[in-house]
Amino acid sequence: MSLLNPLIQGVLLGGLYALYAAGLSLIFGVMRLVNLAHGDFIVLAAYLMLACVTALALPAWVALLIAMPFMFALGWALQRLILNRTLKNDLLVPLLVTFGLSIIIQNGLLLAFSADSRRLTVGELEIASWTFGDISIGVVPLITFIVAVLVILGLTFLFYRTRLGRILRATADSTEIVQIMGIDPRHVFAIAMGLSFVVIAVAAFFMGVRANFDPAAGPSRLLYAFEAVVIGGLGSFWGTLIGGTILGVAQTVGAAINPEWQQLAGHVVFLAVILARPRGLLARA
């Protein structure tokens, strides 16, 4: 059996992981916060779209368009109402508060939607694929990858070419000095969290279209996102794509060898990277 197919599938899967990771990387970059509920918010967003699809009979992509501003508002409010209160402390409080949120979201979803696994449907596109010899490229995985590249291009543009991006980077440098420039860092943080949640909505859409999800699916999404961020190197959006791709390839190659090794192979590659280059593959010195 050739390794080419798992390799290609892995790269495409990496696009999804990069989408998981981009939002996590964004807020870590701006406010040094690791949101332990990141994965659970992805799952929450997927259920939100599912609810739109089932209750309002909308196509899934319309549900995504609705979910994006909604998730922005949710992230913004979360930051303003809860997380901004935690940031003056060391890392304990923000970590534990987001960990508590993770438990609340999982169980809230369980109450609202039961433990059954669900899926977002986009009609025939789901099964469409192009076949070249013994390699078949699914349309949805390909679109996911392209969207991941576009999201990362967009974030890079936003961060390095716009006024908002300048303010985000300056706030990451010093929350004190931006204040004497007329900027309230709490507001900047809220916008950053809102942006992260928009990326979460996009990630959730492709997660839900590509595979089943259930209320307990969040923590493993967090771990994939985190691994992609660390493998790629902190503070770099392109790093999340590289990290995501490496993670995806590790998983599909592992699964090709033994189906039970999929997750294990990803984790092992992650541990190998921290052993060899704890600051990630792309880290600036």
Partner 1 sequence: MSLLTTHGLEVFYGDFQALFGVDVAVEEGETVAIIGANGAGKSSFMNALSGLAPTRRDAILLAGEAVGGTPAYDMVKLGIALVPEGRRLFPSLTVEENLLMGSSGRTVERGWTLPVVYDFFPVLRERRRQLAPTLSGGQQQLVAIGRALMANPRILLCDEISLGLSPAMVQTVYQALAAIKARGTTILIVEQDLRAALAAADRIYCFMEGRVSLAGRPAELSRDAIQAAYFGTAR
Partner 2 sequence: MRYGIAISTWNSRLILIAAGVVVILLAFAPVIAPRSLIQDLILIFVMCAIAQCWNLLAGYAGLISVGQQAFVGLGGYGLFALIILAGVDPLLAVLLAAIIGTLIAIPVGLLMFRLQGAYFAVGTWVVAEVFRLLLAQWKALGGGTGNSLPRTATTEMFGLSTINALFGVRNAVGREIVIYWAALALAAAVVGASYLLLRSRIGLALSAVRDGETAAESVGVDITRTKFAVYVFAAFGASLAGALYFLDSARISPDSAFTVLDWTAYVIFIVVIGGIGTIEGPILGSIIFVVLQSSLSDYGPWYLILLGVLGIAVMLVAPRGLWGTFSDLTGIHLLPTRRRLVPLGETPPTREA
| Chain contacts with partner 1 (rule: CB under 8 A) | 163, 166-167, 169-170, 172-174, 176-184
Q: Give, in order, the Cα–Cα distances in Å from 54 to each of 50, 57, 79, 120, 160.
A: 6, 5, 30, 10, 39
DSSP readout, 242-263? HHHHHHHHHHHHHHHH-GGGHH
Contact partner at residue 170 from partner 2, partner 1, none, CB < 5 to 8 Å by partner kind: partner 1
Using the minimum distance from each CB to partner 1, give the nearer residue, 176 or 260. Answer: 176
Contact partner at residue 267 from partner 1, partner 2, none, CB < 5 to 8 Å by partner kind: partner 2
Using the minimum distance from each CB to partner 2, give the nearer residue, 178 or 265. Answer: 265
Q: How far is the CB of 200 from partner 2 (least distance, A)?
A: 17
Count of alpha carbons within 13 angstroms of residue 213, beta-carbon side: 32
Count of alpha carbons within 13 angstroms of residue 210, beta-carbon side: 21
**Which residues of this protein are in contact with partner 2, per CB under 8 A?**
28, 32-34, 36, 82, 85-86, 89-93, 95-97, 99-101, 103-104, 106-108, 110-111, 219-220, 222-223, 226-227, 230, 260, 263-264, 267-268, 270-271, 274-275, 278
Using the minimum distance from each CB to partner 2, give the nearer residue, 106 or 175. Answer: 106
Residues whose CB is less than 8 angstroms from the CB of residue 11 and which lie 6 or more positions away in sequence, other chains included: 145, 245, 248, 249
Q: How far is the CB of 254 from partner 2 (least distance, A)?
A: 11
Q: How far is the CB of 75 from partner 2 (least distance, A)?
A: 17
What is residue 127's three-state secondary structure? Answer: coil
Contact partner at residue 96 from partner 1, partner 2, none, CB < 5 to 8 Å by partner kind: partner 2
Q: Give, in order, the Cα–Cα distances in Å from 11 to each of 217, 239, 270.
A: 22, 14, 16
Q: How far is the CB of 90 from partner 2 (least distance, A)?
A: 8
Q: How far is the CB of 32 from partner 1 (least distance, A)?
A: 14
The rounded distance, in Å, linking the Cα atoms of 79 and 75 is 6
Contact partner at residue 124 from partner 2, partner 1, none, CB < 5 to 8 Å by partner kind: none
Contact partner at residue 184 from partner 1, partner 2, none, CB < 5 to 8 Å by partner kind: partner 1
The rounded distance, in Å, linking the Cα atoms of 178 and 170 is 7
Contact partner at residue 177 from partner 1, partner 2, none, CB < 5 to 8 Å by partner kind: partner 1
Kindly report the number of other CB atoms within 10 A of residue 200's CB atom: 34
